[in-house]
A and B are shown apart, each in its own frame.
Chain A
Amino acid sequence: MKNIIIGQFIPGTSFLYKMDPRSKIIALMLLMVSTFILSSVSHILIMLGVVLVILKIGGIPVTRIARGLKPIMILLLFTFTFQIIFIKTGNLVFDTDLTLTYITLPIILLIVIFWYFTKRYTRFKFLYLLITVFGILTLLSLYNPGSIISSSHLEIYQDGLEGAFFIMIRLIIIVTLSTILTLTTKPTDLNLGLEKILKPLGIIRINAEEIAMIISIALRYIPTLLDEANKIMLAQASRGVDFSEGKFKDKIMQIISLLVPMFIISFKRSDDLANAMEARSFVPGKRRTRLHTLSWHNIDTSVIVFCVLVLASVITVRIML
């Protein structure tokens, strides 16, 4: 679980690691905006190509990116289905009747139950789910003996397919870009970069330094708190609490028995920490010097210029077409 916070960063030496976090954040913004402005499948494929080239030169393994995409699989699937089902313009590419009968209903239930109990044995859970759903759909469209319960019509149009593909690529590009940032920038540097970029917000009374301080303390304490949670869980387990089994009600009780000590420890900790910070002359909002400062190099300028050019050409294409 610690990996969520600190394990993202992978050490390396490519140009991505030589860049200033500020320029990386700005470049990310520029490329994201470009991706959102693009409106045709062929253009977004070119963009995907650009991102792949960045990955290649940056020396980031594609498997790491795939891992980053995992959490948004469901979202991808959902938008994909949504697009396919609800967009009904362009050429009709696929058309079938889906019929639910008194014979197929129990078969489908059986399949679902089988899927539910066997899914834990496979490593490719997502693929297994897809195959199951696809199987059920095939069954519905091809096999319809007995009396009919309900019947519907599935039509897939070209625009729907293209739209689904387009949105999927767009999401993948955006997630990949932000994953590149977190993989190649240490949390502390990222934090410092954000602080500097958000500095102008001081005009509307948002203190970027304070926000950055809060984030860095969170970064510092989350692993410690996770350790603590582990310790408490072990202590409870040694007294007979079983965290993996039990009914819903038991689960709730177990979580409470974990949360209460966690809260008490955190309050004590934050009190002590505030004391330690004040004792070392920390005054919120007051000027302080920094151990780590950022430095802008030629590479940063060139990357930003490149990204601005990308954005400019994307805007031109959009206006021309």
Chain B
Amino acid sequence: MNIIEIKDLSFSYQDEIQALSNVNLSVKKGEWISILGHNGSGKSTLSKLIIGLLKADSGKILVDGVILNEESVHDIRRKIGIVFQNPDNQFVGVTVEDDIAFGMENLCFQQSEIIEKIKEYSKKVDMSDYLKKEPHALSGGQKQRVAIAGILAMKTDIIIFDEATSMLDPKGRASIMEYIKEIKKAGVTVITITHDMKEAVLSDRIVILKEGRVIACGETNDILNDKETLNSSNLELLLPLKLQYLLDEANISNDKVKDILWQLSLNK
């Protein structure tokens, strides 16, 4: 069943440039889908349209079978959590714990539950020693962790991460990726937005955006084998992929690579 259906969606900001044109996309319940694209390709715009922060010029969006419009927008937002790109501008609370609590307060969680969840999720993102800290005393990556904890604690059916790990160190990023796998197992639908292919290969499906258009959409393996599309997407390719393409270009078969490697190891 599709939890998100996007049909013929187009959008432009005040200027004439089309930020999104005729986007069609469906997200299955419980899957992990990556939206890949270069800077300015419209990824953040798409996520803002999905939660109704921007209003589409044409086309429609269905979330859980409900059409997104002015009446349904509040109910739909209760089902979707989104971690935004800029950690500075999404810190609402005066302290870390206030910020993690903010979403839960809006969803009317009981006070005891809020306190419990703050403990649980601040631990998950490794911020439990900072609960009373104010945002200007935190680093960018720490603010990002707080934002992630605040969204996870809301326990929404769908979570969108808009380059939510861009400021995390490799260890922090790996632990968030582990955690995404975990919540996916629990049935949460995850959308990660990134221009880092290393992150995208972990997901079930990949959508590639380029200049506001979907240029590819499919199973992760199929997309990785689609050399033409990847090359035209302006994305930085993964090293193994690059190597494979170079070998293909030089017309070197896998058997020959094996031979060469064998000889190299003997000569040594």
A217:B84 contact, CB within 8 angstroms: no
Query: B70-125: which have CB < 8 Å to A?
Result: 74, 77-78, 80-82, 84, 86, 88-95, 97-98, 101-111, 114-115, 118
The smallest C-beta distance from B115 to any residue of chain A, in angstroms, reads 7
A291 CB contact (under 8 Å) in B53, B115, B135: B115
- At the interface, yes or no: A242 with Cβ under 8 Å from chain B? no
In the complex the two chains form, is B106's CB within 8 Å of A272's CB?
no
Q: Which residues of B contact A122 (CB under 8 A)?
A: none
| Complexed CA–CA distance, A309 and B81 (Å) | 53
Pair A279/B77 contact, Cβ less than 8 Å: yes
Please, how many angstroms separate the alpha-carbon atoms of A81 and B92 in the complex? 48
Least CB distance from A6 to B in Å reads 7
- How many A-B residue pairs lie within 8 Å, measured between CB atoms? 94
Decide if A272 touches B84 in the complex (CB within 8 Å).
Answer: yes
Q: What A residues does B95 contact at CB under 8 A?
A: 188
Alpha-carbon gap, A278 to B92, bound state (A)? 11
**Contact indicator per residue, chain A 186-228, by CB within 8 Å of chain B (1) or not (0):** 0110000000000000000000000000001101100110010
Let me know if A282 and B135 touch, CB within 8 A: no
Query: Does B191 sit within 8 A of A, measured CB to CB?
Result: no
Q: How large is the interface on A (under 10, 10 to 19, 20 to 34, 35 or more residues)?
A: 20 to 34
B258 within 8 A of A: no
- Bound form: Cα–Cα A272–B95 in Å: 19
What are 23 A-to-B residue pairs whose CB atoms are below 8 Å? A220-B93, A227-B136, A272-B84, A272-B86, A275-B84, A276-B92, A277-B92, A279-B51, A279-B80, A280-B92, A280-B150, A281-B74, A282-B92, A282-B106, A283-B74, A288-B105, A288-B108, A289-B104, A289-B111, A291-B101, A291-B105, A291-B115, A293-B111
Q: Which residues of B contact A (CB under 8 A)?
A: 48, 51, 53, 74, 77-78, 80-82, 84, 86, 88-95, 97-98, 101-111, 114-115, 118, 134-136, 150-151, 154
